[in-house]
Amino acid sequence: MAETGSHRGEIIKRSFLLFLMVSKSCGNPVIYNRRHSDLTSIPNDIPVSTTELLLDHNQIPEVTAVSSQQMTALGVVSMSYNLLTDIPDLSKAPNVYRLDVSYNRILVIDPARLNRLTNLDTLDLTGNSLQTLPSVPGPGRTLRQLYLTRNDFTVVPDLTQLAPNLELLWVEHNRLENVPPAALAYLPYLADVRLGNTSLSGFQGLGRVDQNVRSLLLRGNPNLGGLPQGWFPRLDSIQTLLLQDSGIQTVPGDLCLRGELGMNFTLGLQHNPLRCDWRLRWLRLAQLAGVTITTETNCQQPAPKPWKSITWSELGYTGKWLGTRMYW
């Protein structure tokens, strides 16, 4: 309970800071836009009062300092599609809350530079060549959204120290082979996780995903294999689970709890080699109780057929109805 109160306090503090920054600039926002300008270095005419610095689509290889003066009004820095090999040095801009350095050439992040971003809320590192992240404490309790899609990670990084209050984590289109048990286990506010289109070969580590996760995307993992029994009841808040193109043949019956609780739950199962036999009888009941099965879900065994056309008898149902539950 104390931890939840602390988290709420951090949210209030961060929201107030952002409010002050926006309030100062609402009357006369200063947006410095030099996108697509063939720049090879940081311009020296950036106003100190700049609130948004937009330098996307240039040829800038390094940023040792955005300015020689303090830029306390600067909140957004966007430098996607440059030639950066590290995140910019923003020591003169302590209030940056959004940093976009997607689609650069970043291999390693300097922990000192990351630690200076004490008010960072969103960090977009999409489309770089990262394999690891600093394991030392980073932006601390402010970082809520982290985008790591299209990098070279082979394991999901441990973000316990770097971002303990993380709420969104996207690590799609990487070379992920596994999820270490501790990687996602101690992120109590994590709500949106995307690990799609990787090389995950099992659910090791995913069983430690916190119960507050609302959206879990695992599609495009053809070697994922079977879902572990007993995993779903732990995901008390899950609303969306996407498992398309993941080699799934069957789904444990404990998932029907989502429907029995009347929750708004969507299950994506397209393009899987589903075996529609008696083991999936519960799925029909869950669908009737409110679980949404995404369209174009087909069975491969015992015969290729759309899921929506499968009958109770084809599922081998021999039990009886009792309320909203099925017994066999």
Q: What is the tens place of the pLDDT at every residue in 25-44?
A: 455 789 999 999 999 999 99
Instruction: Please report the pLDDT score of residue 9 as a whole number.
Output: 58
Q: For 244-277, what is each residue's pLDDT tens digit?
A: 999 888 887 766 555 444 457 788 888 888 888 7
Instruction: Please report the pLDDT score of residue 297 as a whole number.
Output: 82
pLDDT(173) > 60: yes
Q: For 52-79, what is each residue's pLDDT tens digit?
A: 999 999 999 999 888 888 999 999 999 9
Residues 6+ apart with CB under 8 A from 37: 55, 58
Instruction: Please report the pLDDT score of residue 4 as a whole number.
Output: 54
CA–CA gap between residue 328 and residue 309 (Å, rounded): 22
Check: CB of residue 140 under 8 Å from CB of residue 121.
no
Cα 174–Cα 175–Cα 179 angle in degrees, nearest 5: 95
Instruction: Please report the pLDDT score of residue 317 as a whole number.
Output: 64
Q: pLDDT grade, residue 324 (50/70/90)?
A: very low
Q: For 145-172, what is each residue's pLDDT tens digit?
A: 999 999 999 999 988 888 989 999 999 9
Q: 149-168 as b/e, with b when 16 or more CB fall inside 10 Å?
A: bbbebebbbbbbebbbbbbb
Q: How many CB atoms lie within 10 A of CB 277?
A: 16
Q: Residue 282: exposed, middle, or buried by beta-carbon count in 10 A (0-12, 13-18, 19+)? A: buried
Q: Residue 186: exposed, middle, or buried by beta-carbon count in 10 A (0-12, 13-18, 19+)? A: middle
- The closest alpha carbon to 67, from 49, 87, 86, 85, belongs to 49
What rounded mean pLDDT belongs to the chain? 82
Mean per-residue pLDDT for 302-316? 79
The separation between CA 222 and the C-alpha centre of its own chain, rounded to angstroms, equals 20
Q: For 210-234, what is each residue's pLDDT tens digit?
A: 678 889 999 999 988 777 776 665 6
Higher pLDDT: 321 or 175? It is 175
Instruction: Please report the pLDDT score of residue 155 as a whole number.
Output: 92
Strands 298-301 and 274-275 come out as parallel
Residues 6+ apart with CB under 8 A from 203: 224, 225, 227, 228, 231
Lowest mean pLDDT among 85-94, 98-107, 274-283: 274-283
Sign of CA dihedral 23, 26, 29, 35: positive
Sign of CA dihedral 311, 317, 318, 320: negative
Instruction: Please report the pLDDT score of residue 23 as a whole number.
Output: 47
Instruction: Please report the pLDDT score of residue 319 as a whole number.
Output: 57
Residues 6+ apart with CB under 8 A from 27: none
pLDDT(293) > 50: yes
Higher pLDDT: 86 or 182? It is 86
Higher pLDDT: 287 or 245? It is 245
Q: Report the side by side order of strands in the sheet with 266-268.
A: 31-33, 52-54, 76-78, 98-100, 122-124, 145-147, 168-170, 192-194, 215-217, 240-242, 266-268, 292-293
Q: pLDDT grade, residue 318 (50/70/90)?
A: low
- The closest alpha carbon to 189, from 150, 130, 146, belongs to 146
Instruction: Please report the pLDDT score of residue 11 as a whole number.
Output: 57
Check: CB of residue 17 under 8 Å from CB of residue 119.
yes
Mean per-residue pLDDT for 116-145? 87
Q: For 103-113, what is each residue's pLDDT tens digit?
A: 999 999 999 99
